[in-house]
Amino acid sequence: MNLSFTDFKQFNLVDIFRLNANAVIQDSMIDGMPYVIIDNIFQNPANIIEFLKCFPADSYTTDVHNVYDSGVRSVDDLENPDLQMRPAGLQQKIMSEIIIDLSFNLYKFLVEQDFVAPHELMYEDYFSPVHVQNELSAFNFNTQLYYPGMLSVGGNNNPTVDRFEYMFKIFLSDDIEGGDINFYKVNSCGKYWTSINHIMNESTDEEKSKISQDLNNATSGFGIDVYKPKCDETVFEKFHTIEYKFNRLILHPGAYFYSVDYDATKETNCRFSLETGFNDYSKMRKYEDA
């Protein structure tokens, strides 16, 4: 096979993921959940989409033994980082190394918004990604692709949680009728539980058992059907909605239950987003060293 240099696509990654200096930042809190919205986050979102379209799209459920999709067996399952709930739609796995500049900017934003403590060298001259390699390795990038006619499998259209302390969701498509992100409290044991952290830290063992049972009944699913949002309103009560908008970033804690309002039975356009989660491993190391 003869290869030509022009056969290879070329991207200037710094330019592709350049943030917009005129982005609009809104930070807020509702029912104890802090979140941040940044509109017009990227300077050239169309270039990002062209870059991401070069990656194959497939679900990451090859490690079947690490995936549970027959309901939430226990509250502890939701905290287990070795178990993963079956994702909706298709995903593209993106190597963090190739978008390290974006990781660096997202990390600095976490610090600026007081979500995480600053790195000890952060305010020195010429601070760069090299200084925070351990922190940046915590970012785990993928895309989420919802598409017309896609299927829901194993109840993956129910409210769910993310396995990261903080989640970034960046919307890269428009013209979606629904697509909002809805956040929920859990109604169990005569109380409302705002997040997995609230359940794990404040409930008794007896309450944990009952909550697990209620969540299992509300989220289990064995059928395969066209994807439509599903929510058991006797267990989940919606307390907030964030509107889906093109080139918008949403930062929220991963421990809150949420669902994506995308109806694959009637949508004619794809919902595409770039997502990453972040765990503050520096706190864990301090805990282990104590």
Structure tokens of 242? 């964030």
Residue 287, pLDDT score: 36
Q: Domains plus CATH for the chain?
A: 5-289 (2.60.120.620)
- CA dist., res. 87 & res. 158, Å (int): 11
Identify whether the C-beta of residue 57 lies closer than 8 Å to the C-beta of residue 92.
Answer: yes
Residue 290, pLDDT score: 39
Instruction: Count other Cβ atoms within 10 Å, centred on residue 20.
Output: 15
Structure tokens of 177? 């009728």
- CA dist., res. 214 & res. 187, Å (int): 9
Residue given tokens 């302390």 in the structure block: 165
In degrees rounded to 5, what are phi and psi of residue 67?
-115, 130
Residue 24, pLDDT score: 93
Structure tokens of 253? 């804690």
- What is the Cα 261 distance to its own chain's centre? 15
Identify whether the C-beta of residue 48 lies closer than 8 Å to the C-beta of residue 143.
Answer: no
Helices (H), the chain: 13-16, 45-52, 100-112, 133-136, 196-202, 205-219, 281-289
pLDDT values of the chain reduced to their tens digit, one per residue, 290 residues: 788 877 777 777 778 889 999 999 999 999 999 999 999 999 999 999 999 998 888 765 555 556 665 566 778 877 777 776 777 888 888 887 888 889 999 999 999 888 888 898 888 888 888 898 888 988 989 999 999 999 887 788 899 999 899 999 999 998 777 779 999 999 999 999 999 999 999 999 999 999 999 998 888 766 788 999 889 999 999 999 999 999 999 999 999 999 999 999 999 999 999 999 998 876 654 434 43
Q: If DSSP codes are grouped into helix, strand and coil, which group holds residue 140? A: strand
Residue 285, pLDDT score: 47
Residue 203, pLDDT score: 95
- Torsion, Cα of 83, 88, 90, 96 (10° steps): -50
